[in-house]
Amino acid sequence: MTPAGANGDGPLRLDIDLQALTANWTWFRDHSHGAVTGAAVKANGYGLGADAVVTALAGAGCREFFVTTIEEAARLLPLADGCTVYALHGLRPGEKPITGIVPVLNSQEQIARWREAAPGRKCDVMVDTGMNRLGIGWREFETGMLDGLNLGTLHSHLASADEPDNPLNDIQQRRFQEIVASVRPPRAALAGSAGICRGPDFAFGMTRPGLGIYGGVPHPMAAGCLQQVVRPQAEVLIVRHVAVGDIVGYNGMWRAEVGTRVAVLNIGYADGYRRGFSNEGQVLVGGERRPVIGRISMDLTTVDIGNAPVDEGDWVEVEYDLPAASAVSGQSQYELLTGLGHRYQRRYI
């Protein structure tokens, strides 16, 4: 633990391990059965900072990056020299094509819009094979819909890849395989992080890992194989003694059975540390895990620090291993990542 404030920094830090990030991407590349391996970096690199994430992954050999909109893609173009940036939401009304950005077209209307706006320019197309979200529905899909398009990759997306025994996975794979066989696109893509773990039948010619790159465990196969990327740290605002029988926090969710030393941390649900961690979360104090006690507030969290040598202004690490934190808080690993707020000083390791 180190004193805070000496350098004028705020009370929250987010240490982001870029070596762990690239090692995780490499693991998914090595398990993509020869398919080109891209990376989903939407939502500002899953909340970690797309600039740093794209730069690190490009340095590791990634050349295909997926975001949501053309606007989001345009911000990354200067960092992705020699790479391709894909806009998964296609070409929306009023948007104009931008050189270097490939839209993934999701409807007949978007295809018509692209034909008019950028005839002959490269595009991708999404086919819905059972998720009923983005993409042309597999029932109404006809190969003639793609006539005249300079098609790069034909995509689909699995609805339940993180559920190993869900029969919809194989159903979607078969539907997509049939469409790919009829279209014969230059390349096809079905699998994200969890889909990669399902084996070679799901790899096709390209994979699009997302959650797993950032340390989330998307499928049992990846358990124990991926490294933690994100480590939040919070400053100790005050240390206090709570007498036997006194409560801590809103609604008295925790009551002291013995006299207890409590540290109040500068972190709360406004920073993405959700209420689900109330009486359940842990922090690391001098290498020892200490329990979160009481209800998480908007900006504050209280911790039983026992006899640990903790003082006002010290820093503690908030335990944030994604699968464990998800099980404790009841929040998905995706939400835990993307919900980390703007008040953190992001530090790249």
Of residues 254, 240, 205, 216, the one with CA closest to residue 336: 216
Position 5 in a domain: no
Alpha carbons 135 and 108: distance in angstroms, whole number:
9
Question: Quick one: 188 and 265 in the same domain?
Answer: no
Pick the catalytic residue from 42, 214, 269, 344. Answer: 42
In this prediction, residue 202 carries a pLDDT of: 97
- Rg (Cα) of the chain, in Å, rounded? 23
Position 186 in a domain: yes
**Spans of the chain, pLDDT less than 50:** 1-8
In this prediction, residue 292 carries a pLDDT of: 98
pLDDT in tens, 164-185: 999 999 999 999 999 999 999 9
Q: Is 96 a catalytic residue?
A: no
Position 13 in a domain: no
Helices assigned H by DSSP within the chain: 18-30, 42-46, 50-60, 70-76, 108-117, 168-183, 193-196, 322-329, 333-338
Looking at residue 154, the DSSP 8-state letter turns out to be E
Question: Quick one: 235 and 304 in the same domain?
Answer: yes
Question: Quick one: 151 and 286 in the same domain?
Answer: no
pLDDT in tens, 16-55: 999 999 999 999 999 999 999 999 999 999 999 999 999 9
In this prediction, residue 286 carries a pLDDT of: 82
Question: Quick one: 168 and 304 in the same domain?
Answer: no
- In this structure, the dihedral spanned by the alpha carbons of residues 215, 218, 221 and 226, taken in order and rounded to 10 degrees, is 0
Question: Quick one: 195 and 241 in the same domain?
Answer: no
Tell me the torsion sign for CA atoms 326, 327, 332, 334. Answer: positive
Strands 301-304 and 39-40: unpaired
Question: Quick one: 24 and 79 in the same domain?
Answer: yes
Domain count, the chain: 2
Alpha carbons 257 and 189: distance in angstroms, whole number:
56
Examine the fold and report which residue of 169, 199, 218 is the final residue of a domain before the chain moves on.
Answer: 218
Q: 156 lies in which domain range? A: 18-218
CATH of the domain at 250: 2.40.37.10
Position 3 in a domain: no
Examine the fold and report which residue of 164, 192, 218 is the final residue of a domain before the chain moves on.
Answer: 218
Question: Quick one: 192 and 65 in the same domain?
Answer: yes
In this prediction, residue 125 carries a pLDDT of: 98
Pick the catalytic residue from 96, 122, 214, 250. Answer: 250
Question: Quick one: 174 and 314 in the same domain?
Answer: no
Question: Quick one: 255 and 298 in the same domain?
Answer: yes
Is residue 234 within 8 Å of residue 318, measured between CB atoms? yes
Position 70 in a domain: yes
Q: Is 348 a catalytic residue?
A: no
Alpha carbons 186 and 234: distance in angstroms, whole number:
49
In this prediction, residue 17 carries a pLDDT of: 98
Question: Quick one: 213 and 238 in the same domain?
Answer: no
Question: Quick one: 330 and 205 in the same domain?
Answer: no
Q: How many other CB atoms are found less than 10 A from the CB of residue 320?
A: 25
174 three-class SS: helix
Of residues 65, 24, 59, the one with CA closest to residue 42: 65
Alpha carbons 127 and 176: distance in angstroms, whole number:
8
| Amino acid identity for residue 48 in this structure | L
Which tokens belong to 211?
Answer: 């959650």
Residues 6+ apart with CB under 8 A from 56: 18, 21, 22
Position 2 in a domain: no
Question: Quick one: 23 and 122 in the same domain?
Answer: yes
Phi (first) and psi of residue 230, to 5 degrees: -110, 130
Task: Provide the β-strand partners of residue 104.
Answer: 124
Position 102 in a domain: yes
Position 120 in a domain: yes
In this prediction, residue 282 carries a pLDDT of: 97
| Amino acid identity for residue 340 in this structure | L
Helices assigned H by DSSP within 61-148: 70-76, 108-117
Which tokens belong to 81?
Answer: 């020299």
